Structure 1
């Protein structure tokens, strides 16, 4: 049973017709709008009887449900508050602004080339011209205005258009289409702007799009809006208006313009929301699996919407459907069949930065009392150079492995690539091809002993600029630094002596002690990344200063750096965020000035939103394509919410399952499997 929104109805209805014929299942579909879909899946009796699936053409409102950290499980706040729903985008829609084909409105707009968002706003808004201007509206959108707020004539848009009142139509207030159109076009809706119901003909509205179609057919000077599927079903009678997008181009809705994002700001997803209950999910998840199949995608296209990409379908299967099966439906044998397959031995080596993730995955996947105890994972370190070398069977780096871990990209001396993710080994066994997969985001952390002299100094300053970090680590003289873009003002208390690097040179309140430097060794991807981000003339020879009184303490093992910092309160080091999280009782992570001029410390939030820059980076595993079949089930686990929990737990930020980055990464795996 399902409560359906009129926009989602064509998809839900066609999926149901095909599915119930093939599977001897009965699906009952009702309308009522997105509000009804949200309410009924939450068993809110004010909206109707409870359903297993609630259809919506908008996201959840904060008043309807709270969202869990994964971003797609919603906990009901009205009705039965013990219920939760899993949200699934099922297709993309281009909300279409429509007029009667060949009518006065059609001829007018065709002559204009389309409508701007400011023109659409004026057409529908209850605001006066003065109120519109005060809230960002461009009055040039109305070049032939009669300066009368009581009228909204087509001729005000252009003198060639008729002097007829614009009649407006659209969705009712229970509809997600209403909410979405209001947010996109009535840009001051949060402060009371709304559809103008005081027009001569009012605002003709309904939860049923057919009512809007009939109104437009009967009124050639009217304009309306609804989902693209309804426009397509009525395109012999109606014309869809081209809308000016954020690039300044007039674009009409079509499968292509919706899919590529050029039809904006009126492109959107439509959703099904599944009640999270073991009995319900046992029936609804197979239906949704059908929907995301090739057959289901073809049916989406048939009704006029744009199906999810192959990557989008995969993210729904692995990140949501399989997770709900695993958590609520499957028996141990079913879990084993999906996550494990046949037992394998998998060998891994490389970056110490990636090691916590790989080790955590290995413990949960193949350890004692694990998900797949028949598997054996052997994980070794050695740095990114070892990861690159050993996956390419370069005996100088060690024995061959199936997966090489790296916290940097490939060097041109190690491998060649045509597509940016498939690498052909240039050293070792040159017949080997590997696929690079990002497993998460790291914020390389600049760290000092908690409460030590360095910590007190930098805390007083509010953080370090990138120029200050460069000076701390660089082997360049001040003159060489200045000649290569360094700002001398970053050292306000300089002693003018290139042989010293004192904390007091950064600020007179800091101690006059030499800054001891520590970090990764030259085999590490962390070393490469930090050098590229901070020693900005490294291509011309700038490097870490080995000639300091204490030299440059470095290691491929981050624990060595931790121990050094704990023993030296005037030392500074750097390594991956996960190691900082593990040692945050003993160490402090310094705030670094970002490209917006703000001092930002690393955290899961600042790494994910990109504000911790320039030290945020992706971390990688690289799979020898020869072994993709053997490691496939393990990778499917790693890129599921179960694997994400490990990534989060060790202190990194997983790729979001709904993100383009996750989809692109996973499709690399599928492409190798399919080839």
Structure 2
């Protein structure tokens, strides 16, 4: 009888210990839930810490700079998500005004009609000049007759009214071979800039040129034919110097100058030295993901521009831009 009572007592004690352990486990789980109730559930916390995808689009010329920036940024910030598009300066501004992007790249200053579209949409923004470029006029490496070109010759070649079909039409000493023309498309800031400099506001562009918003397509076109000519940002030429030749352009001093970092920085390579921009939406900067990327871009744009073949601005310019960024972001 005594043994049965002892056994019953031990069993009861074991049961009480087991119940206490379960109670502590439940209490621990409830404690975690209680703590999450103050800071949100685990799922809610994961969602709140998820970074916004930063959307950037616009100029194909600026694309290599911002792509390099984004790659470095995401390496240092593995959870960051950044999308860099290349629909041309004009196409980028259309998306910017439509609220589809946070940052717009441009190889020319924003136009009046684009400013108006942003005003109509109630979008405030700031322009940042991140680098310099030398718009490069290029021919095939096998072209051994073109050693320089003037703006007048370029106008004759690219104008719809120029009546140029062969190289000998430009210079009678050059081959009687039909020229193949390659140009950025209508949404490209590079095409806008080239047209303004070469043809003027009233000039009309020739209709038989092969157009593409993708500068790599233009590179392939010119490298594929000894009679081709095209133009695009210096970075694309710098990547293909083994297959392309940059044509020296006669500047306003009468000197034939080829594009490189020194002639672009000094302005000697005129009239094709030009600034490159990003436009940042003020409202988007309230999102830490966008602000952090924009700040990183301005801190590293000079180095990244140099790495892909463009020309950095003085360091003081980037410092001023960072101050402006903090000001518009309310930091």
Q: TM-score band (shorter)?
A: 0.7 to 0.9
Q: Secondary structure at the match of 1:349?
A: strand
Of the three residues 638, 645, 651, the one matched with 2:297 is 638
Q: Deviations over 1:122-147 (max 9, x none)?
A: xxxxxxxxxxxxxxxxxxxxxxxxxx
Aligned to 1:560: 217
Unaligned 5+ runs, structure 1 = 1-340, 395-399, 417-423, 478-497
Aligned to 1:425: 118
Counterpart Cα distance in 2 of 1:545 and 1:426: 34
Q: Deviations over 1:612-654 (max 9, x none)?
A: 11011111111111112432322332222x4432211111112
With over 3 angstroms needed to count, the CA separation of the structure-2 counterparts of 1:665 and 1:470, relative to structure 1, is farther
| Counterpart check, 1:379 vs 2:38 | no
Q: Secondary structure at the match of 1:652?
A: coil
Aligned to 1:662: 318
Q: Please report how far the alpha carbon of residue 570 of structure 1 lies from its aligned counterpart in structure 2 after TM superposition.
A: 0.8
| Counterpart check, 1:437 vs 2:128 | yes
With over 3 angstroms needed to count, the CA separation of the structure-2 counterparts of 1:617 and 1:432, relative to structure 1, is same
Counterpart Cα distance in 2 of 1:442 and 1:516: 25
Q: Please report how far the alpha carbon of residue 668 of structure 1 lies from its aligned counterpart in structure 2 after TM superposition.
A: 2.9
Aligned to 2:65: 357
| Higher-helix-fraction structure | 2
Q: Deviations over 1:236-260 (max 9, x none)?
A: xxxxxxxxxxxxxxxxxxxxxxxxx
Mapping 1:515-526, distance limit 5 Å? 515-526=179-190
| Contact residue 520 and residue 558 of structure 1 kept, 8 A | yes
Counterpart Cα distance in 2 of 1:623 and 1:565: 34
Counterpart Cα distance in 2 of 1:673 and 1:433: 12
Aligned to 1:507: 171
Mapping 1:463-542, distance limit 5 Å? 463-477=148-162, 498=163, 500-536=164-200, 539-540=201-202, 542=203
Q: Secondary structure at the match of 1:363?
A: helix
Q: Please report how far the alpha carbon of residue 667 of structure 1 lies from its aligned counterpart in structure 2 after TM superposition.
A: 3.6
Aligned to 1:403: 103
Of the three residues 268, 274, 278, the one matched with 1:621 is 278
**Comparing 629-638 and 606-615, the one that deviates more:** 629-638
| Counterpart check, 1:612 vs 2:261 | no
Q: Secondary structure at the match of 1:471?
A: helix
| Contact residue 405 and residue 621 of structure 1 kept, 8 A | yes
Counterpart Cα distance in 1 of 2:84 and 2:178: 38
Counterpart Cα distance in 1 of 2:322 and 2:153: 39
Counterpart Cα distance in 2 of 1:447 and 1:530: 13
Q: Please report how far the alpha carbon of residue 392 of structure 1 lies from its aligned counterpart in structure 2 after TM superposition.
A: 1.4
TM-score, normalization by structure 1: 0.40
| Contact residue 391 and residue 623 of structure 1 kept, 8 A | no
Counterpart Cα distance in 1 of 2:146 and 2:310: 25
| Counterpart check, 1:448 vs 2:139 | yes
What is the count of residue pairs matched by the alignment?
Answer: 281
Q: Deviations over 1:279-302 (max 9, x none)?
A: xxxxxxxxxxxxxxxxxxxxxxxx
| Counterpart check, 1:648 vs 2:306 | yes
**Comparing 648-657 and 505-514, the one that deviates more:** 505-514
Q: Please report how far the alpha carbon of residue 426 of structure 1 lies from its aligned counterpart in structure 2 after TM superposition.
A: 4.3
Q: Deviations over 1:333-358 (max 9, x none)?
A: xxxxxxxx995421111111111111
Counterpart Cα distance in 2 of 1:509 and 1:652: 34
Counterpart Cα distance in 2 of 1:591 and 1:608: 16
Q: Please report how far the alpha carbon of residue 595 of structure 1 lies from its aligned counterpart in structure 2 after TM superposition.
A: 1.2
Mapping 1:129-208, distance limit 5 Å? none
| Contact residue 413 and residue 426 of structure 1 kept, 8 A | no
Counterpart Cα distance in 2 of 1:636 and 1:544: 39
TM-score, normalization by structure 2: 0.80
Q: Secondary structure at the match of 1:415?
A: helix
Counterpart Cα distance in 2 of 1:469 and 1:672: 42
Mapping 1:321-340, distance limit 5 Å? none
| Counterpart check, 1:389 vs 2:47 | no
| Counterpart check, 1:671 vs 2:327 | yes
Aligned to 1:16: none
Unaligned 5+ runs, structure 2 = 1-48
Mapping 1:98-113, distance limit 5 Å? none
Q: Secondary structure at the match of 2:112?
A: coil
| Contact residue 56 and residue 101 of structure 2 kept, 8 A | yes
Counterpart Cα distance in 2 of 1:426 and 1:632: 22
Aligned to 2:240: 583
Mapping 1:41-80, distance limit 5 Å? none
| Contact residue 383 and residue 525 of structure 1 kept, 8 A | yes
| Contact residue 155 and residue 198 of structure 2 kept, 8 A | yes
